[in-house]
Structure formats: C-alpha cells, structure tokens
Amino acid sequence: MTVAEKKDKEQVSAPVQLLRDTRAEIKKVVWPTREEIIRLTILVIAVSAVIGVVLFGVDSFFLWLYTLLLDVVS
C-alpha cells in the first residue's frame, strides 16, 4: 500500500471513527429520570417567577422614586 492510499483510507475512516466515538460517549451519559425532569422544570419556573416579581418590585420602586423627584423639581 502506498502512502497516498493509506492517507486516503485514514481520511475516509476519520468521520466514521468520530461517529463511533460520539455514539460511545452518548451511551455513557446518565440521563435524568422523568421525576427529576419534572422537579427541575418546576424549580426553574418557580425561580424565574420569583426573580420576575423581585425585578417588578425594584422597577416599581424606581418608577415611584422618579415620579416623586419629578414632582419635587417641578
């Protein structure tokens, strides 16, 4: 086998090897259970809601402060 033929064979097998390695790594992944997915989804929604309420409160406070300052100045 010549060097060129060997090089061509390696180039063809590289993508195939990548797919094999990827498949092997995917099999090693420990996927979450349905209960974990539900619990974590609820947690994310709850934390997002709390952060939204806090940001709304801070924004409302600064709006109130801004209107108060405008009333004092004018």
Domain ranges across the chain: 1-30, 32-74
- What is the pLDDT tens value at each position of the chain, 74 positions in all? 566 566 655 565 888 889 999 999 999 999 999 999 999 999 999 999 999 999 999 999 999 999 999 999 98
**What is the pTM assigned to this prediction?**
0.62
Separation in Å, CA 28 to CA 7, 33, 48: 31, 15, 31
Side chain identity, residue 67? T
Measured CA distances, 64 to 53, 57, 60, 67 (Å) = 16, 10, 6, 5
The answer to whether 54 and 62 have CB atoms below 8 angstroms apart is no
